[in-house]
Structure 1
Amino acid sequence: MNNKMKSYSAFTLSVLMTFFLNGYAQSDKLTLQNAIRAAKNNRRLLASLEMETRISQLKTTELNARYLPKISLDYNYQYHPIIASGIIPLGELNSNVPTGAGKALKMGTSYTQNAGLTVQQPLLDISVSKLVRESKLQEKLARLNEKDAELELTYEVAKAYLNVLASAEQVRIAVNDTVRTALSLKMVREKFLNQRILKAEVNETLVTHYDNVQQYHNARNAELVSRQYLLYVTGNDLSGAPLLVLEDYNLSQDISDMDETRLTALPKIEILKIKNEVLNNKEKLERLKYSPLINLNAYLGGDQFSDRLNPFKQNSWYGNSYVGVSLKLPVLFGEQTAKRLSQLKYQQRQNEYQMIEEINRLKHDIQSTAAKFINILQQLNTLTGNINLSSETVAIYQERFKESQLSLNELNDREVRLQHLKLQYEKLKKELIIAWLDWKKANGTIEFIK
């Protein structure tokens, strides 16, 4: 029994030394703002969404290039095993021949080649402007998705950061509880050695102390896990978790009224608005399917006619050129445009309903999280007072027990009650963090965390 008690006294001393040494292990402190900045710089998810924005920008540039002229070098070689014939109306050319007389003549040579430069300049294609607009809207969507991901990442980093601080506070409380029960254990051991209390009472004290020691281990492990998660969300090496030191952060207790203008400007709402603009643009594009396409075409080149394959044969090449305008007017596409337009209308209405639901949800979240935050603050204030009173009571009970004015069971009972109050306090502190972050996320101010 004495050996066990001595080992736990040594353990308590080591807990204190480890706790205080860790507090001064590193001078550089990580701030919440720096943690958020590191996450934005290091996480590949944001880099991927940034690439999506650049891809959309390149697509817009590509569509704008459709207005540029298309220039091509053309070359054709043809061999004609059978040369097509044409009927010559001899009667029209020679009065000595009957009027209806004609003669079949071969029209061409065995080998033909042509080479030249073709230019096509679009003059009218209304659909291109709509395609360019849609591409620009897709750029906006990509930027909004990136912004939304940044807000989600800010929320996660802030939650992880504040959880580390809460876990560190829980370790400090566990250390104090372990020291307090170790002091009680020391007094019990002295009385046991003087044969003033029973072994059963010593066992009860040991159980209480063992529970506090385990709570300390649990708190240390929870702190390490929370540190590792913070390093993960910020994109840093997890091996630095034991040496990570954070700057304290005080939650603002100012819960202001909601700003509906800010709500409608949130990325999730803006995304639905832009999606409706895309659908509206698709609707216009659908109606433009039957609009005319006008191009300016030009050609400059030469043709060769020869009975043998000889590209350099003299007097066999003949110049050829043209400049003209082509008009293409679509008539039927094999599609039901009216059905397609109705589908687009329904999709726009669906997005409008989603916007209304999302705004109503955000309003509810703002009100409910604000009420929850205020209620938790009240509970914490009450618990703080109760913990202070209980701590004072435990100290008094320890003195009375030392003077043999109080039973050990009463002292153990008070220590267990105090431990329960502190566990409840730490649980509420973590709930307060979540409520505060959820409120800032719902009202659109999560990005302004400093």
Structure 2
Amino acid sequence: MKNKFRFAIVPLFLLPFCLLAQVRQDSLPPLLNLNQCIQYALQNQPAVRQAGIDEAINERDIGISMAAWLPQVNSANSASHYFKGSPQAANGVANSSISNVSIIGIQATQVIYNNDVNLASKASKYSREYYKDNTISSTINVITDVSKAFYDVLLSQRQLDIIKEDIVRLQRSLKDARARYDAGVADKTDYKQATIALNNSMATRKQTEEAIKSKSAYLRQTMGMPAERPLTLAYDSTRFEGEAIIDTNQILDYTNRIEYRQLQARRNLTALNIDYYKYGFLPSLSANGAYNLNYFSNSLGNLYNQSFPNAYVGLSLNIPIFTGKRRLQNLSKARLQTDRADLDLVNSRNQINTQYVQALASYKSNYNTWQLLKQNVSLASDVYNVVSLQYREGIKTYLDVIVSQSDLRTAELNYFNALFQVLSSKVDLQKALGTVATVNK
């Protein structure tokens, strides 16, 4: 009975943990919008996590460099046996009978001024900025890639919906054409043309379905999502139409671009080398001290019976006198590297301006196209409905039905292409302005 009770009670204790694990695993909603995909990617995308690790590694490197400012304490110990001769005894008189010597001591040094440590202290600020910006850069790239991949999958899904609707219309047209042929009202070319159009649409449907699988796999990759996890995207046409609008009167600020800030941080790090080599002639000053216990004995067994301590404190001054003009050559090299970094900033500003102009022109063009094509959908739908009704009444030919149906399908496809082109070009414009990370927080 006790064993049965144990087997019955153990699952009760494990049940909460199993439920907790299940909740964590299924924490994502069944339908994912763009913000949820981005948040998932920022938590799971390896590139973002690697950038965070690089930032943490840089902090450890700074700590390693700054450790030289703190006291360095070491224990120096030795034990020696002399076969011939002897060291100076504790009383200052040479004693050739002393053959065993041991020294146990502790030494400490404290840097007062050192050019290398001074450089590491100044460089820590700019290296932090660089790696912090590197993390932001990875975040921006992930947000951009996920957004475009998200829109690409939704575009293909909307295309698939249009093709399915077109197949329904073609099947109905084929049925009508066959009925008219069987009734002797029309010849067989009508339903054969309908069959050809239907087969073409069914082939296009298969291609689109496979394209959705491929694009969904890429979206999973950009999100850092496992392949076996289901991915269903939420579509809201009203929301997307509202999100497609952006203020095109924003002023370009180069410092908002993360690439420009990274170049600035790199330039500042390079400029520090000028001061480093400029003041390379300054001496290095450090304080040092030690406390030692000296042991002398001819007998190994009595070596540690009596100690002779000594202690000292002092200063060490290292003055560079002549280094074969190496310092001057390094100084000249550092200045040239700084001049080159300044030119990198100039070139970066030119590139950023070009990217902004191109992104703005692309957005305005796509937005204008989207506004115009929005009207074509309703117009093409009205035309198709009228022509289809007139064909059933024998007023229009089947060729008119095919043309109107093709126009409707093209108008719907063009509309969704234009809508998602506007959304993608908006992402490019935000990236060019340097506001991607800000608006997606």
TM range, normalised to the smaller chain?
A: 0.7 to 0.9
Q: CA deviation at 1:108?
A: 7.3
Contact 2:103–2:292 (Cα < 8 Å) also in 1? yes
Contact 1:258–1:366 (Cα < 8 Å) also in 2? no
**Which residue of the partner structure matches residue 361 of structure 1?**
351
Distance 1:85 1:69, change over 3 A: closer
Separation of aligned partners in 2, 1:77 and 1:403 = 116
- Unpaired runs of 5+ residues, structure 2, are 1-27, 89-93
Q: What TM-score, normalized by structure 2, do the two folds share?
A: 0.83
Q: How do 1:19-58 and structure 2 match up within 5 A? A: 28-58=30-60
Tell me whether 417-426 or 74-83 shows the greater mean CA deviation.
417-426
**Which residue of the partner structure matches residue 96 of structure 1?**
none
**Which residue of the partner structure matches residue 21 of structure 2?**
none
Distance 1:301 1:379, change over 3 A: closer
Matched to 2:177, the amino acid is: V
**Which residue of the partner structure matches residue 122 of structure 1?**
111
Superposition CA RMSD, Å = 2.8
**Which residue of the partner structure matches residue 287 of structure 2?**
296
Q: CA deviation at 1:294?
A: 2.0
Contact 1:57–1:136 (Cα < 8 Å) also in 2? no
Q: Give the 3-state SS of the residue equivalent to 2:316 in structure 1.
A: strand
Report percent identity of matched pairs.
18
**Which residue of the partner structure matches residue 71 of structure 2?**
69
Separation of aligned partners in 1, 2:319 and 2:257 = 44
Matched to 1:48, the amino acid is: Q
2:335 pairs with 1:345? yes
Separation of aligned partners in 2, 1:233 and 1:182 = 39
Matched to 1:176, the amino acid is: E
**Which residue of the partner structure matches residue 406 of structure 1?**
396
Q: CA deviation at 1:165?
A: 2.9
Counterpart selection for 2:146 from 157, 163, 167: 157
Distance 1:286 1:114, change over 3 A: same
Tell me whether 322-331 or 216-225 shows the greater mean CA deviation.
216-225
Distance 1:40 1:424, change over 3 A: same
Q: What TM-score, normalized by structure 1, do the two folds share?
A: 0.81
Counterpart selection for 1:435 from 421, 425, 432: 425
Q: CA deviation at 1:246?
A: 4.5
Q: CA deviation at 1:44?
A: 1.8
Matched to 1:79, the amino acid is: H
Q: CA deviation at 1:154?
A: 0.7
Distance 1:439 1:244, change over 3 A: closer
Q: CA deviation at 1:54?
A: 1.2
Counterpart selection for 2:202 from 213, 217, 224: 213
Separation of aligned partners in 2, 1:381 and 1:65 = 62
Q: Give the 3-state SS of the residue equivalent to 1:289 in structure 2.
A: coil
Contact 2:244–2:422 (Cα < 8 Å) also in 1? no
**Which residue of the partner structure matches residue 172 of structure 1?**
161
Q: CA deviation at 1:106?
A: 7.3
Matched to 1:442, the amino acid is: A
Q: CA deviation at 1:432?
A: 2.3
**Which residue of the partner structure matches residue 277 of structure 2?**
286
Matched to 2:270, the amino acid is: L
Matched to 1:365, the amino acid is: Q
**Which residue of the partner structure matches residue 15 of structure 1?**
none
**Which residue of the partner structure matches residue 191 of structure 1?**
180
2:246 pairs with 1:257? no
TM-superposition CA deviations, 1:56-94 (whole Å, max 9, x none)? 1122222332222222222222233332799xxxxxxxx
**Which residue of the partner structure matches residue 261 of structure 2?**
270
Separation of aligned partners in 1, 2:427 and 2:283 = 56
Q: CA deviation at 1:313?
A: 6.6
TM-superposition CA deviations, 1:124-151 (whole Å, max 9, x none)? 3243122122133222211110001101
Q: CA deviation at 1:310?
A: 3.7
Q: CA deviation at 1:53?
A: 1.1
**Which residue of the partner structure matches residue 19 of structure 1?**
none
Separation of aligned partners in 1, 2:109 and 2:354 = 59
**Which residue of the partner structure matches residue 140 of structure 1?**
129
Separation of aligned partners in 2, 1:310 and 1:289 = 52
Counterpart selection for 2:101 from 78, 99, 112: 112
Q: CA deviation at 1:345?
A: 2.0
Separation of aligned partners in 2, 1:241 and 1:129 = 54
Aligned length: 405
